């Protein structure tokens, strides 16, 4: 491995670690909300649902979190970018010489 690819690899590992820690913290908040919000809430969405849905608040939090995670996954999955950014940068430097 060259120094450039090693530095990129370390940066990517740090980025992955930070994302993982952030995701775990968000899950911790979800668990705390679920533990302390046991009351039932009403959910209405008149354009799509004719009836009122009454569920525990913790279940609502989990449902909205799941929808957000799925939406984020779908939005980032179709970017079309391929890995190997360091390789293309290296090739660009070689072609400039």
Euclidean distance between CA atoms 9 and 5, whole angstroms = 6
Give the pLDDT confidence of 72-88 residue by residue, as tens digits.
Answer: 888 888 666 665 555 55
Domain positions in the chain are 1-59
Q: Which of 95, 96, 80, 89 is closest to 7 using CA atoms?
A: 89
Q: What is the SS3 string spanning the chain? A: CCHHHHHHHHHHHHHHHHHHHHHHHHHHHHHHHHHHCCCEEEECCCCCCCCCEEEEHHHHHHHHHHHHHHHHHHHHHCCCCCCCHHHHHHHHHHHHC
**Band of pLDDT at residue 54, cut at 50, 70 and 90:** very high
pLDDT confidence band for 14 (50 / 70 / 90) = confident
């Amino acid at each position: 491995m060259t120094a450039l690819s090693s530095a990129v690899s370390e940066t990517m590992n740090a980025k992955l670690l930070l994302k993982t820690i952030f995701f775990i913290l968000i899950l911790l908040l979800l668990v705390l909300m679920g533990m302390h919000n046991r009351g039932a809430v009403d959910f209405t969405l008149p354009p799509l649902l004719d009836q009122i849905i009454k569920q525990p608040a913790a279940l609502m939090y989990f449902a909205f979190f799941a929808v957000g995670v799925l939406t984020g996954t779908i939005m980032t999955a179709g970017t079309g970018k391929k890995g190997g950014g360091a390789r293309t940068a290296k090739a660009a430097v070689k072609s400039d010489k």
